[in-house]
Amino acid sequence: MHPLEQILDDHGDAVFSFLLQLSRSEPDARDLFQDLWRRLVENPQLLAEARDPRAFLLHLARNQFIDLTRRRNARTRAHEASQDQPDLAGLFEPAHRPDEDAFREALDRALGQLPEDQRMVVHLKLWEGLTFDAIAVLLDLSPNTAASRYRYGVDKLRTLLRPLYDEIRTP
Amino acid sequence: MNSRIPPHLEDRIAQTPRRGLPADLRQACLAMRGSAPRPTPPVRQHAFWLQWFWPHPAAWGGLAILWCTILALHRLAPVPVNVLAATGPSTPLIKDPDSTRQLAHQRETREELLRQPLPPLDFDRPRKASPPSTNRIA
């Protein structure tokens, strides 16, 4: 198997999911992923120098996203941020069970209400299982900042999901 | 405020399966890998002389052609006589046998004359005082 194909199999899902979490738009996530992949194809030694390929790719993905948001019109971003009920980003696989699908939909919307910096940290902590030290390196933060953003983010998710979660848990 | 929420909500969230890379996007990426341009070899640093020549290649090319023409004409031109004379005795200029013999005779004569001591010249002898002329007109 070609080394790049191996990288796609090992890390493609994680990177795409991270981009989807950040952009909350599948077309944007696709474009960003393709741009990132093109960079890797044209410059394969980028990954050869990385100690942790997954962390390196997530770092690249985050930079790609920041570049995209800078290119975007500030007015558009303000409009998106002002939405009370953000659109579904399609972050999760459908469960084909009403309760579970409702929870996933609510989680998707709740994540959309988090500020971008908290959402990044929550994603990297919960789905990538990174330590706060690793998150701090990846996002150029101090570990304390990463930890506090995580706490704020998870508290907000708890608040937003509590009614539904209580309902699901009640037999 | 959140005391009623069980702490394992975080685990519950983390276990929610994320969407992976769409199959069509994966195929597009693999195709991109196949059609990617080969990495171009690093551009070699041009040699000093090439950098010097490069700004006016036509002028330098013309000059090179001119010099080549001059050299070719120089090689094709007949050799002048004085150049042949300077080539030394190993290349005799006169090939006629009679003339050669005559020249050899002259050379021998000259060497023979050079070996003989020269007689003292007349102006080295003391001059005799001549009596005064009687024919002088008083």
Which residue from B minimizes the CA distance to A101? B16
Task: Enumerate residues 6+ apart whose C-beta is below 8 A from B26.
Answer: A8, A12
Whether A92 and B22 lie within 8 Å, measured CB to CB: no
Between A3-17, A78-92, A115-129, B37-51, the lowest mean confidence (pLDDT) is in B37-51
pLDDT at residue number A69:
86
Number of A/B CB contacts below 8 angstroms equals: 84
pTM for the model: 0.60
Is any Cβ of chain B less than 8 angstroms from the Cβ of A67? Answer: no
Q: Smallest Cα–Cα separation from B7: which of A158, A112, A97, A47?
A: A158
Beta bridge partners of A92: B18
Positive or negative CA dihedral for A151, A17, A129, A97?
Answer: positive
A47-75, pLDDT tens digit by residue?
887 888 899 999 999 998 988 888 876 55
Residues 81-140 of A with CB under 8 A from B: 90-93, 103-104, 107, 126-127, 129
CB A53 within 8 A of CB A11: yes
ipTM of the prediction: 0.80
Positive or negative CA dihedral for A102, A152, A72, A22?
Answer: negative
A88-107, pLDDT tens digit by residue?
778 888 888 888 888 899 99
